[in-house]
């Protein structure tokens, strides 16, 4: 192969910066790298990335690693751990939240399986398995940057979840919370796991507690966290999942940031205060933070669904409300199903909405009358 | 609160490092945008496990402000690559926590390979003379890739080699070019 072969190169490049072909002159940004790894780059773009690889051992190693099966898919979870600008200590909390989310989901799986097993063996009842469980569902799509900020509050006439005669707003006990207040278990309120009959009195202790601990914050129903998260009811509990090397840093952040040790109920109280004051963006932001740590939290799922709906994000609302309706405790089953049907309708899926409404009528529950009227009005 | 912020950083690594040293969390976020995905790839290369790789990246960034405060880092890119790679290797060896920290604290500055500066600064005339001294496969691969600007696949098609063979020849050819050019510099110095 002689020098003449490279005539085109010399002609076009002799006066360019590529007079020094081995001189690194650029880095490859993430978008171009992703295009390369996903096979979307044309030959010129491929060369551009590969030339950078030849000059950059970090990029070379990274491409090698990211070419492995599952690597690109796993990068979404990595993005969740990005340091948050302008908030000292918050990023550390975020990384902990990620760990807690995984542990929380695993713990929930264990608890759920124990609950189901106990019901069948101890009570002799056939557990009613929903067609889909929360655990079987795909992870919720990530929120885009500024998605909440860009959302529009709906007119008050279109808002849901704020009527005094809503099922979740039956103010049996109103208990405004203050930060740091310890919450004692409340008296039984009649909320049952969906698969148990009302006559059932025997059963595992943790299962009985699950339908005894319904409280109301700002006249909004909340299932006590002990009924869902027996391991902890703290928002971000650094001590449990932090490598030993972070201990000093955690203590420092803990002193600087009271959110690190905030108990569940005060946190939920603040979130629902915003909801009650029609600050759905603020409430949703808080609830999403909680869901990072407790992905199957019934309270957060339900009220995040209402907030999403009231911000006009109906597909998001469907996702949260559907999960809330499937929650094993059944604490929001009827209201979540009702609002889910409304969200289906608002997002234009009239057929699915009609079917969901019919189901509510057939179940003859709390929202049967509203659903019937709604169907007649269509 | 947890939303991903698109990377808009246009500052140099050195500027971002200076910001992080001053406690600027936004600077740390910009470094994350620039390096986290690459370091995750490095983790995958060595650990071959998404969770461990992810944890390793998060841990590194958690400690990055403290590490930057302790080390005089002139060029972040090779330095952070070395830190990540060392951590992966230590994990693979089952190194204990304190040993890992010790390794980080005593981490030497990355040393550029001998002749790399000559290779980067070499103009076409000097390169042509050096390239002629390579073996046939290395010479063809170096020319097609670096001078004709063909991607790996195109070079593989032209040479009837596999992509891996092309990359191997490029790597070996590059190393030999460095040696040749460094040898030339040494001779001139005498």
Secondary-structure breakdown of chain B: helix, strand, coil percentages, each rounded to the nearest 5: 75, 0, 25
pLDDT tens-digit readout, A191-250: 333 333 333 333 334 333 334 478 888 888 888 887 777 555 566 544 333 344 444 444
Contacts of A144 in chain B (CB under 8 A): 3-4
* CA A70, chain centre distance (Å): 22
SS3 A34: helix
pLDDT tens-digit readout, B155-190: 999 999 999 899 999 988 988 888 888 887 777 777
- pTM summary value: 0.46
Closest residue in chain A to residue B159, using alpha carbons only:
A1
Q: What's the pLDDT score for residue A145?
A: 63
User: Does residue A125 register a pLDDT over 60?
Assistant: no
B20 contacts chain A (CB < 8 A): no
Q: How many CB atoms lie within 10 A of CB A8?
A: 11
Q: What is the DSSP string of A117-186?
A: HHHHHHH-PPP---SS-TTTSPPPPPPPTTHHHH--PPPGGG--S--TTSGGG--SS-----TTPPPPPP
Contacts of A5 in chain B (CB under 8 A): 143, 148
Closest residue in chain B to residue A50, using alpha carbons only:
B151
The minimum CA-CA distance between B29 and chain A, rounded to whole Å, is 5
| B54 with A78: Cβ contact below 8 A | yes
Size of interface A-B (CB pairs under 8 A): 197
pLDDT tens-digit readout, B61-78: 999 999 998 888 888 998
Distance CA A46, CA A326 (A): 47
Candidates B151, B152, B166: best to mutate against A (most CBs of A within 10 A) is: B151
Distance CA A143, CA A286 (A): 14
Residues in Cβ contact with A34 at an 8 Å cutoff, skipping those fewer than 6 apart? A72
Max Cα distance, chain A (Å): 93
Contacts of B33 in chain A (CB under 8 A): 30, 82
Among B residues 124-183, those touching chain A with beta carbons less than 8 Å apart: 124, 127-128, 139-140, 143, 145-154, 170, 174, 177
A173-182, A347-356, A366-375: segment of lowest average pLDDT: A173-182
User: Does residue A365 register a pLDDT over 70?
Assistant: yes
């Amino acid at each position: 192969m002689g020098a003449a072969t490279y005539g085109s190169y010399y002609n076009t490049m002799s006066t360019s910066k590529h007079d020094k072909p081995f001189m690194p002159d650029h880095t490859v940004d993430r978008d171009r790298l992703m295009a390369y790894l996903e096979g979307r780059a044309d030959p010129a773009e491929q060369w551009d990335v590969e030339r950078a690889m030849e000059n950059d051992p970090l990029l070379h190693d990274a491409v090698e690693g990211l070419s492995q099966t599952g690597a690109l898919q796993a990068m979404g979870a990595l993005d969740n751990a990005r340091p948050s600008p302008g908030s000292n200590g918050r990023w550390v909390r975020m990384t902990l939240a990620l760990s807690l989310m995984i542990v929380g989901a695993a713990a929930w799986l264990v608890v759920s399986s124990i609950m189901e097993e106990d019901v069948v063996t101890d009570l002799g009842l056939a557990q009613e398995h929903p067609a889909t469980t929360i655990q079987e569902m795909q992870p919720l799509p990530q929120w885009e940057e500024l998605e909440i900020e860009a959302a529009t509050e709906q007119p008050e006439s279109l808002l849901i979840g704020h009527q005094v005669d809503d099922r979740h707003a039956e103010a049996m006990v109103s208990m405004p919370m203050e930060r740091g207040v310890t919450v004692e278990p409340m008296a039984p309120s009649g909320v049952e796991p969906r698969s148990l009959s009302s006559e059932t009195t025997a059963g595992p202790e943790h299962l009985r507690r699950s339908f005894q601990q319904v409280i109301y914050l700002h006249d909004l129903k909340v299932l006590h966290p002990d009924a869902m998260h027996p391991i902890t009811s703290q928002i971000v509990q650094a001590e449990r999942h932090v490598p030993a090397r972070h201990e000093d840093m955690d203590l420092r952040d803990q002193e600087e940031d009271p959110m690190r040790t905030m108990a569940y109920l005060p946190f939920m109280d603040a979130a629902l205060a915003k909801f009650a004051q029609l600050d759905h963006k603020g409430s949703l932001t808080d609830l999403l933070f909680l869901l990072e740590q407790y992905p199957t939290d019934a309270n957060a799922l339900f009220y995040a669904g209402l907030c999403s709906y009231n911000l006009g994000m109906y597909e998001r609302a469907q996702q949260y409300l559907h999960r809330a309706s499937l929650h094993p405790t059944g604490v929001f089953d009827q209201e979540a199903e009702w609002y889910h049907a409304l969200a289906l309708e608002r997002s234009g899926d009239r057929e699915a909405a009609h079917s969901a409404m019919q189901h509510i009528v057939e179940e003859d529950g709390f929202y049967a009358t509203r659903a019937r009227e709604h169907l007649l009005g269509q | 609160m947890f939303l991903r912020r698109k990377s808009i950083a246009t500052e140099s690594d050195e500027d971002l490092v200076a910001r992080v040293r001053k406690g600027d969390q936004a600077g740390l976020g910009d470094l994350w945008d620039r390096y986290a995905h690459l370091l995750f790839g490095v983790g995958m290369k060595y650990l071959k496990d998404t969770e461990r790789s992810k944890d390793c990246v998060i841990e590194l960034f958690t400690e990055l402000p403290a590490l930057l405060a302790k080390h005089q880092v002139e060029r972040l890119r090779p330095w952070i690559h070395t830190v990540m790679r060392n951590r992966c290797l230590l994990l693979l060896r089952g190194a204990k926590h304190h040993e890992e920290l010790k390794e980080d604290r005593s981490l030497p500055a990355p040393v550029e390979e001998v002749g790399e500066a000559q290779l980067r600064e070499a103009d076409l005339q000097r390169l042509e003379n050096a390239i002629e001294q390579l073996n046939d496969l290395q010479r063809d691969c170096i020319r097609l890739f670096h001078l004709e600007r063909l991607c790996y696949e195109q070079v593989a098609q032209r040479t009837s080699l596999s992509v891996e063979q092309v990359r191997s020849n490029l790597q070996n050819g590059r190393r030999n070019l460095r040696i040749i050019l460094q040898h030339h510099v040494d001779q001139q110095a005498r």
